[in-house]
Amino acid sequence: MNTNIHHGRNIKRFREMLGIKQEAMADALGSDWSQKKVSLLEQKEQVELELMKEVAAVLKVPVEAIEKFDQEFAVNIISNTFTTHDQATGFIYNQNPTFNPLDKLLEVMEENKKLYERLFESEREKVELLKKLLDK
């Protein structure tokens, strides 16, 4: 096992990426857990395997993800595989979308049409109700 890997920091990274607050994680881990205890866990460099299994189950990630995730290694992979078609801006964009933009436009137009029809029907009902009230 690589001793440079900080289990607590990895737990914190996964928890934050999943949008889970420390309080919610403490609740999921059981009644003997608190936000402070989760905070202390995230500061530990090495976490016992049994505890790591519990945490991994709460985070729904493999134990190996917490055990072996190395941020420097990940950054190196990303920086070494980063390619761009536009060297001037360093901006990557998808020139070949996997969907037909016209189909998406037609879907949006159809949704708008349905919304307008519902709005029109609602207004028609209001007018009928007002007519009934005026007739009385």
Residue with the larger pLDDT of the pair 45 and 3: 45
Over range 84-113, report the average pLDDT.
70
Same domain assignment for residues 63 and 31: yes
Same domain assignment for residues 74 and 91: no
CA distance 125 to 78: 58
Over range 8-36, report the average pLDDT.
92
Domain that holds residue 64: 7-81
Evaluate whether residue 1 is within a structural domain.
no
Same domain assignment for residues 12 and 68: yes
Same domain assignment for residues 58 and 77: yes
Ordered DSSP codes for 43-64: H-SS--HHHHHHHHHHHTS-HH
Instruction: Check whether 38 has a pLDDT greater than 70.
Output: yes
For 45, 80, 105, 106, the CA distances from 73, given in Å and listed in that order, are 17, 10, 41, 44
- The H-or-E segment that residue 122 falls in is helix 101-135
Tokens representing 80 are: 């070494």
Number of structural domains, the chain? 2
Evaluate whether residue 12 is within a structural domain.
yes
pLDDT at 78: 47
Evaluate whether residue 61 is within a structural domain.
yes
Q: Kindly report, residue by residue over 54-64, the tens digit of the pLDDT.
A: 999 999 888 88
Same domain assignment for residues 46 and 100: no
For 69, 121, 127, 129, 130, the CA distances from 134, given in Å and listed in that order, are 72, 20, 10, 9, 6
